């Protein structure tokens, strides 16, 4: 069986930790690093040169360097997209933490239109003294340049009634399909309210086609057999969907009625963006969220 490589694509951004640590934490096999046109070999600071030397010296990591205009959206998107295309048989991850803002936007756009997983690494000043945290006394750029309109890609997420079901499952220790149907009837969700089906068999088919199947395929929920019944459980991706997509008042109320401290969810939903939550700066504790499969982290044994 052919083994795929884990490929990280990252833009040069005058940083080291947020570039290098994910490479080792997520066990990348190859790194594609994008530099601005004409930057190499003399236009990078010494600490970045040392970073490149260390990566090139690493036995199990292959380093590839490419150039692009990282301040031009079309050029940056093309560079990211081509790197993804060139590694389409591998598991590709795009680090959008570093580089110009245009490069970060380009990385996200490339991930939306190609088969790649974007991730963001938070910066940390916890170990720095106040005087070591640099704050500019003057604007970094004194003048503005050309205004460029950015294309918009619609995010395809769960429908509103599917979000209502995810909200119902939030905080629940699983729910049977019968319980989901009862909830849908009580709340008069469209897939139930608009049907003429009266038999249990018909209602279960509607639940499967409108709720269970699409949410399972999207990895928002999982179905487990419990004796003669099947129970539906909310996955982490389902929680992320509740945090990422706008919710109707009824959906928020459903979340608030959950038994598992809904204030924690609401605090995250109101204060964090989706990609702030996706960080490889892992926190201590058994229930820490790892945004990728466990196999991609170093073993704790």
Q: What is the pLDDT of residue 247?
A: 75
In a domain, 170, yes or no: yes
Q: Are residues 112 and 13 in the same domain?
A: yes
Q: What is the pLDDT of residue 128?
A: 66
CA torsion 192-193-198-201 (nearest 10°) is: 0
User: What domain range is 257 assigned to?
Assistant: 160-271
Q: What is the pLDDT of residue 301?
A: 38
Q: Are residues 93 and 209 in the same domain?
A: no
Q: Are residues 92 and 188 in the same domain?
A: no
First CA to last CA distance, the chain: 26
Q: Are residues 203 and 112 in the same domain?
A: no
Q: Are residues 233 and 126 in the same domain?
A: no
Tell me how many domains the chain contains. 2
38 pLDDT more than 70: yes
Q: What is the pLDDT of residue 66?
A: 94
Return the ∠ at Cα 196 (arms to 194 and 200), rounded to 5°: 110
Q: Which of 117, 132, 147 is the last residue of a domain?
A: 132
In a domain, 105, yes or no: yes
85 pLDDT more than 60: yes
The answer to whether the beta carbons of residues 53 and 41 sit under 8 Å apart is no
The answer to whether the beta carbons of residues 275 and 118 sit under 8 Å apart is yes
In a domain, 249, yes or no: yes
Q: Are residues 109 and 193 in the same domain?
A: no
- pLDDT classification of 227: cutoffs 50, 70, 90: confident
**Cα separation values, 250 from 141, 190, 253, 256, Å:** 45, 14, 5, 10
CATH number at residue 205: 1.10.10.10
In a domain, 99, yes or no: yes
pTM score: 0.62
Q: What is the pLDDT of residue 249?
A: 78
The mean-pLDDT minimum among 100-104, 146-150, 233-237, 296-300 falls in 296-300
Q: Are residues 66 and 120 in the same domain?
A: yes
149 pLDDT more than 50: yes
Q: Are residues 12 and 128 in the same domain?
A: yes
In a domain, 232, yes or no: yes
């Amino acid at each position: 069986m052919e083994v795929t490589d884990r490929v990280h694509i990252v833009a040069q951004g005058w940083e080291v930790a947020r570039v290098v640590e994910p490479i080792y934490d997520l066990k990348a096999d190859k790194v594609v690093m994008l530099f601005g046109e004409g930057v190499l070999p003399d236009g990078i600071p010494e600490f970045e040169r040392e970073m490149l030397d260390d990566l090139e010296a690493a036995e199990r990591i292959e380093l590839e360097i490419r150039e692009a205009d990282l301040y031009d959206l079309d050029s940056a998107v093309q560079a990211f997209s081509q790197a993804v295309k060139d590694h389409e048989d591998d598991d590709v991850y795009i680090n959008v933490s570093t580089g110009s803002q245009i490069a970060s936007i380009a990385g996200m756009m490339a991930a939306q239109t190609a088969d790649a997983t974007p991730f963001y690494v938070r910066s940390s000043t916890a170990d720095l003294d106040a005087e070591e945290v640099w704050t500019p006394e003057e604007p970094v750029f004194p003048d503005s340049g050309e205004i460029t309109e950015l294309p918009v890609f619609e995010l395809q997420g769960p429908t509103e009634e599917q979000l209502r079901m995810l909200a119902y499952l939030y905080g629940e220790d699983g729910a049977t399909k019968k319980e989901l149907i009862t909830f849908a009837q009580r709340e008069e969700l469209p897939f139930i309210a608009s049907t003429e089906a009266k038999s249990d068999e018909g209602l279960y088919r509607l639940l499967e086609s409108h709720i269970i199947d699409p949410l399972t395929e999207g990895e928002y929920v999982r179905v487990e057999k419990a004796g003669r019944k099947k129970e539906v459980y909310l996955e982490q991706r389902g929680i992320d969907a509740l945090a990422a997509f706008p919710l109707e008042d009824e959906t928020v109320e459903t979340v608030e009625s959950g038994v598992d401290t809904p204030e924690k969810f609401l605090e995250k939903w109101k204060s964090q963006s989706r990609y702030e939550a996706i960080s490889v700066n892992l926190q201590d504790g058994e229930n820490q969220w790892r945004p990728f499969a466990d196999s991609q982290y170093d073993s704790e044994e």
